[in-house]
Amino acid sequence: MKTPFNWRRTFLGLAAASVIGQCSAFSFAGAEEAVFIPAPTLDETTQAHSETAVFAGGCFWGVQGVFQHVKGVKNAVSGYAGGAANTAQYERVSEGNTGHAEAVEVTFDPAQVSYGSLLQIYFSVAHNPTELNRQGPDRGTQYRSALFPKSTEQQRVAQAYITQLDAAHSFNKPIVTKLESYNGFYPAEEEHQDFLTEHPTYPYIVINDLPKVSQLKQLYPDRYQEKPVLVKAGM
């Protein structure tokens, strides 16, 4: 099978960059436009004080960066989901044949932000759920739109929300997001954590990801927090 071309790795090899990057640095098409969508009519009910959910929607830098600015989120870790533990490394996943997707594990307080509200931000701001095996400039199954429910309740809420959004024609194309079995989440290498915050002038971040944070603030001001919750702050 032909390995998907990886602009991020190629660019950084040519430029001898000091940071390891996996997202396409040669993207000048601009960020995906956010779409305001209604909240889910069916949401999770729980008495838990902490819960985790896994979201995949293209390059994990931007997805992580968005969720780090959501009130009620305690932590958002970039990593890999969908494949085996022994292939959960940057170089292997970037080949596009491990079964992994770049993903973000979000730990949140359901009393402050529900799973349904996180899904609303995921579908609306964090990525474009109508793009199949790609996201913006990035191509390959590792950039697919996928959810990895960690409970039957998350599965039920996510499936109902996709059905709701498609029925309402919230997007100009059908949602291609897949609900996949959760079989583990593997944190990415340290250099990929908090990448948006640490490298705000990196071309890919400026073009593709900072606009997402601005769109979060604009579309969902009650959900937005100015100070991000950083992974390395708790290390």
Element (H, E) at 10: helix 7-15
Task: Based on the residue annotation, tell me whether 23 is a catalytic residue of this protein.
Answer: no
Residues 12, 25, 37, 59: which is the catalytic one? Answer: 59
Helices (H) and strands (E) in the chain, counts: 8, 8
Distance CA 194, CA 138 (A): 20
> 60-85 burial, b if ≥16 CB within 10 A, otherwise e?
bbbbbbbbbbbebbbbbbbbbbbbee
Cα–Cα distances (Å) from 41 to 4, 10, 117, 142, 206, in that order, read: 38, 44, 11, 30, 34
∠ at Cα 115 (160, 218), nearest 5°?
Answer: 100
Active-site residues: which are they? Answer: 59
